[in-house]
Amino acid sequence: VARTLLVTRLDTIALLEDEGRPDARRDIRDGWIAIDGPAIRAVGAGAPPADFARADETIDGAGLVAIPGLVNTHHHLFQTLTRAWLPAANCSLFPWLEALYPIWARLDDEAVRLGCLIGMAELMLSGCTTTADHHYIYPERARGGLDAEVEAGREMGIRLHATRGSMSLSKKEGGLPPEAVVEPHDAILAASERAVRAHHDPARFAMCRVGLAPCSPFSVTPELMRDTAGLARRLDVTLHTHLAENAEDVAFSLARYGRRPVDSLDESGWLDARTWLAHGIHFDDGEVARLGRARVGVAHCPSSNMRLGSGIARVQALRAAGAPVGIGVDGSASNDSSNMIAECRQALLLTRVAHGAGALRVEEALRMATVEGAECLGRDDIGRIAPGFAADIALFALDGVEHAGCHDPLAALLLATTTRVHTLIVNGRVRIRGGRFVDFDLDRAIAAHRATARRLVGA
């Protein structure tokens, strides 16, 4: 028998439903959410349904605001180990990577696991219930990195889209990464298939799915892009990669292959809804239209784009063309945080810098971080507070000093200083209560992570 959970007396439930109009929004005041096993059974206002009077667990939501659990569409969780590292603190993408590759080459499986635990904990404390991760580095002692990541996801109880990344084009062959962190073509394909067979769950409400993710045009060959797309189609899984992140990245493709990024994508068999791209900043008008028509998703990573000085993604043009645009914190070494609610704030502000205050509304930024993020990941069972959807819900208390005098709860979440989640429910299970994990020792994990991080950079 499935466990039942009732959340009552919620100050506000933000449904973020637009019925086709991006400026529309619907809230429920004095609301309740009835949860049955992993799924939401009903949502309403006033008195909850009689058959939930004896729910297995009841949460008093008085004073709390409920939003759909946030969906992070791009991360490299292992990078929490190399945050705010001075030699890479003031660089653009290529020199930043070249400074960090030799450090990451020293990773082992346990370091990856700890990096993932900390990144996932930070995400969850910011209201995130689903995260994608792009794990693309498999040095000698970290060959089991993806398995370590999946294990960390299970321990944290976060919904995980782990992508089996790869690098095959070393510096010697004209790429950017050193020999020590690239893998042979055939070994990558074999490991990718193994990862899918070991960890991918296609079922509704799945807690772990696996996608395939060659890293970027300057670290993989076009042959690997093409063969990975074929494998993804055969195994029916998603595809993910970095594209058009900065001007140098585009220049590399033009110089080496004589093609713009989206032409390369098309040529490799990637131009369809199975694919979502990280960053996607430097697309011309024709490329934006093609991506929209093909419904290719884009993970917008505003903090990283600002931190590395990469540029401003054409978020509203992509959305208008038909491409779902999710929000991603990106790897922690270029953010340097894994705070999804703060990332929504950055997305809101950065688009306004480029296009004016009316360019992106508060509720649209939250829709990108929920419904559209889910679409990027190819899911129709998460991202909404509605019957039949997964019970992934973040509850925030807005009673601290940073929200004193705030009126609208959604505007308060994004315009005021961001705050930690009060209660987090993932797949119908309470993971955080009163701002603390119910069964995870965060302080202990931080101590172990800190020691590993120091050892990794040789401090």
Judged by beta carbon, residue 25 or residue 74, the one nearer Zn ion is 74
- The rounded distance, in Å, linking the Cα atoms of 433 and 30 is 20
Closest contact distance (angstroms) between CB of 423 and Zn ion is 30
Judged by beta carbon, residue 290 or residue 307, the one nearer Zn ion is 307
Q: Which window, 213-221, 322-330, 372-380, 424-432, contacts Zn ion (CB under 5 A)?
A: 322-330
Q: Which window, 63-71, 157-165, 330-338, 353-361, contacts Zn ion (CB under 5 A)?
A: 330-338
Q: Which of residues 115-174 bind Zn ion (CB under 5 A)?
A: none
Cis amide leading into 330 (omega within 30)? no
CB 447 within 8 A of CB 117: no
CB 267 within 8 A of CB 222: yes
Judged by beta carbon, residue 89 or residue 357, the one nearer Zn ion is 89
Closest contact distance (angstroms) between CB of 82 and Zn ion is 13
Judged by beta carbon, residue 36 or residue 122, the one nearer Zn ion is 122
Judged by beta carbon, residue 152 or residue 277, the one nearer Zn ion is 277
Question: The tokens 């994508």 sit on which residue?
Answer: 265
Closest contact distance (angstroms) between CB of 304 and Zn ion is 7
Three-class DSSP labels, 240-265: EEEECCCHHHHHHHHHHHCCCHHHHH
Q: Which of residues 30-69 bind Zn ion (CB under 5 A)?
A: none
Phi, psi torsion values for 60, nearest 5 degrees: -80, 110
Three-class secondary structure of residue 232 per DSSP: helix
Judged by beta carbon, residue 64 or residue 244, the one nearer Zn ion is 244
Judged by beta carbon, residue 330 or residue 375, the one nearer Zn ion is 330
Closest contact distance (angstroms) between CB of 170 and Zn ion is 19
Q: Which window, 115-123, 146-154, 327-335, 413-421, contacts Zn ion (CB under 5 A)?
A: 327-335
Q: What contacts 396, CB < 8 A, 6 or more positions away? A: 64, 65, 67, 127, 409, 413, 419, 421, 422
Closest contact distance (angstroms) between CB of 134 and Zn ion is 6
| Count of residues that interact with Zn ion, criterion CB under 5 A | 2
Closest contact distance (angstroms) between CB of 79 and Zn ion is 9
Closest contact distance (angstroms) between CB of 331 and Zn ion is 5
Three-class secondary structure of residue 135 per DSSP: strand
Q: What contacts 164, CB < 8 A, 6 or more positions away? A: 135, 146, 191, 192, 195, 196, 210, 211, 212, 213
Phi, psi torsion values for 154, nearest 5 degrees: -65, -40
Q: Which token pair is 156? A: 């944290």
Judged by beta carbon, residue 176 or residue 390, the one nearer Zn ion is 176
Closest contact distance (angstroms) between CB of 302 and Zn ion is 13
Q: Which of residues 250-309 bind Zn ion (CB under 5 A)?
A: 278
One-letter identity of residue 27 = D
Residues that bind Zn ion (CB under 5 A): 278, 330
